[in-house]
Amino acid sequence: MIRFGTGGWRAIIGDEFTRENVRLLAQGLADRMHAEGVVERGLVISYDRRFLSDVAAWWAIEVLAGNDVPVTVITRPVPTPMCMWTVQQKGSAYGIAVTASHNPALYNGLKIFTEGGRDAELEVTDELSAHVATLEAADVRSVPPHEVRASEFVTEQASINWYLDAIIAQLDLETIRHAHLSIVLDPMFGVSQTSLQTILVSARCQVEVINARHDPLFGGRMPSPAEGSLAPLRQAVLDQGADLGIATDGDADRLGIIDDRGDYLSPNQVLVLLYEYLLAEKGWTGPVVRNLSTTHLLDRVAAAHGETCHEVPVGFKWISAKMAETDAVIGGESSGGLTVRGHIPGKDGIQAAGLLVEMVARSGKKLSQLYAELVDRHGALVMEEAAYGYTPARREELQRRLFVEHELPAFERGIDRISWEDGCKVYFTDDAWLTIRFSGTEPVIRVFSEAGTAAAAQELSRTVAEHFGLG
């Protein structure tokens, strides 16, 4: 059974991520393209450095070509955002990125993109899953592996220059060149090295790279740029006296930052800094979009500039849609993804990193100083995140208690309102909040909380964990 979550279809290699399932999914997508009458517009496919990613891409291409679907395949591991950008630029009907993003090494999967390079809507993936469930191996039409590269329906693309040039054109390279920044890059054994190093060296930055070799096991860690995974980057920044460290996840659509003091800068902090930079320094105008588990400090920045912050459910497709609807300046999520108006309608760690470097260069200040000044202006909010695994029986129990019976613990602060639109979100009267929801990509229940201090945020999270016996 192929099940799509908020970040595409991800499954354990050899369990559900198999040649048969990849071929069935490709056949289902080919059938959909024929039914929609968009076959002539074709499809773009890319892959990352995970085990079997390149091989699985060709499994899918064999089927797509066998169904007369024109395919442009990017024949080197590249950032997932490049696939989205290529779909947008070529006017393709669909795109596929073979990746499991930041998941552990035993996972792989496929992300599906629709017209304009957007993450596929829930309606699309639900319909695709339902159709694939009706297919059998005998329904799959394909070109033999030894003939697929010669197929008239397959175009191979090796260059990444168009994507990089599009990002470079958005940056103030002249200002960055004269800032003489020292940067440590950690691609986490993923696909960002060539792209980010090219951009940063073009801007005359001094760049050191760690964790760059091809390692499908990701050094034994999850390729996720969360604080707990960035000790090597922190040490490299401190050892070299660098201005900042930049890490990207396995497919480079998300980033994590280490500042000049060796402190981790969360995605929430990066998002708030960039939004205010675009408004105050670059003179942009417009709202911001965040999901329900992302910092409310964005709301404060928006209000201070006479703008609005829009809240949407978890899943970047909701952010992209609301950005298009409201002409928002920037949109992002606490898990590390963001995008800026005028780029692709999806998260891009490469472009976000370039913009952050421009911000530091233009300010003439240290990154740590920039965030301290932002807190002085708007106050502090601190987020706590926890994830808890469960057995099938526990999931059924939690689903019933939380989302059917709407059971919640007794909190020691006033509640303004409660939303059950996407999981549960409790808005407190003192600007604190808390969310509880099942992950759309991993078998965990996530609890996010935010308050004026770390201790207060931790207390909110602990109250939920103790009440429901999580841990």
Per residue in 174-192, pLDDT tens? 999 999 999 999 999 999 9
Answer yes or no: is pLDDT of 442 > 90.
Answer: no
Nearest-CA neighbor of 29 among 99, 120, 101, 117?
120
Phi, psi of 306 (to 5 degrees): 70, 25
Q: What is the pTM of this model?
A: 0.93
Answer yes or no: is pLDDT of 5 > 90.
Answer: no
Indicate the DSSP class of residue 121.
Answer: P
b/e code 255-272 from CB counts within 10 Å (16+ = b): bbbbbbebbbbbbbbbbb
Q: Which residues pair with 208 in a beta bridge?
A: 184
Average of pLDDT values for 365-392?
A: 95
Average of pLDDT values for 25-46?
A: 98
**How many angstroms separate the first and last alpha carbons of the chain?**
29
Answer yes or no: is pLDDT of 266 > 80.
Answer: yes
Beta-strand ranges (E) seen in 144-215 are: 154-157, 182-186, 206-209
Distance of alpha carbon 308 from alpha carbon 330, whole angstroms: 12
Average of pLDDT values for 305-312?
A: 98
**Which residues are CB-neighbours of 323 under 8 A, at least 6 positions away?**
289, 331, 339, 341, 345
| pLDDT given for residue 209 in this prediction | 98
**Which residues are CB-neighbours of 376 under 8 A, at least 6 positions away?**
none
| pLDDT given for residue 317 in this prediction | 86
**Which residues are CB-neighbours of 213 under 8 A, at least 6 positions away?**
189
Indicate the DSSP class of residue 13.
Answer: B
451 HSE (CA, 13 A, CB side): 18
Average of pLDDT values for 82-98?
A: 98
Confidence at 204, pLDDT banded by 50, 70, 90: very high
**Which residues are CB-neighbours of 19 under 8 A, at least 6 positions away?**
56, 59
- Within 10 angstroms of residue 279's Cβ, the number of other Cβ atoms is 21
Of 297-306, 351-360, 438-447, least confident by mean pLDDT is: 438-447
Answer yes or no: is pLDDT of 228 > 80.
Answer: yes
How many Å is the Cα radius of gyration of the chain?
22
CA dihedral sign, ordered 6, 8, 12, 17: positive
| pLDDT given for residue 440 in this prediction | 78
Token pair 């993923």 in the structure block, residue: 190
Confidence at 1, pLDDT banded by 50, 70, 90: confident
Answer yes or no: is pLDDT of 336 > 90.
Answer: no
Answer yes or no: is pLDDT of 105 > 90.
Answer: yes
Confidence at 35, pLDDT banded by 50, 70, 90: very high
Q: Can you say how many angstroms the Cα of residue 281 is from the centroid of all Cα atoms in its chain?
A: 26
Task: Give the burial class of 450: count Cβ atoms within 10 A of its Cβ; 0-12 exposed, 13-18 middle, 19 or more buried.
Answer: buried
Confidence at 311, pLDDT banded by 50, 70, 90: very high
